[in-house]
Amino acid sequence: MDLHDQELLDKQLRVIYQPPRQPALVAMAIVAVFLVGMIAGVVLADTTDSQIAANGPAIAFLDTGAPITRN
């Protein structure tokens, strides 16, 4: 392969070459998405402290607003 062929190959491969991603940037993006999801879950949750105290955290999380009947 001579110099001319190498230059042509470099031009063709330049289009598909993507530089490697920085692993720290990817990790920070994953952490950011996780934190945004956690914050959105807390903000969108419609539970009060009295519901959590009366029913427990798991029941308050799953409660859809239906009245609680005790037998």
The domain segmentation of the chain, as residue ranges, is: 22-71
Compute the mean pLDDT over every residue in the chain, rounded to the nearest whole number.
77
pLDDT at 28: 94
In which band, very low, low, confident or very high, does the pLDDT at 21 lie, cut at 50, 70 and 90? confident
Q: Three-class SS of residue 8?
A: helix
pLDDT at 36: 94
**Could you tell me which residues come within 8 angstroms of residue 67 by beta carbon, excluding any fewer than 6 positions away?**
none
Q: What would the pLDDT profile of 34-51 be if each residue is shown by its tens digit?
A: 999 988 888 777 655 555
Contact 12, 5 (CB under 8 A): no
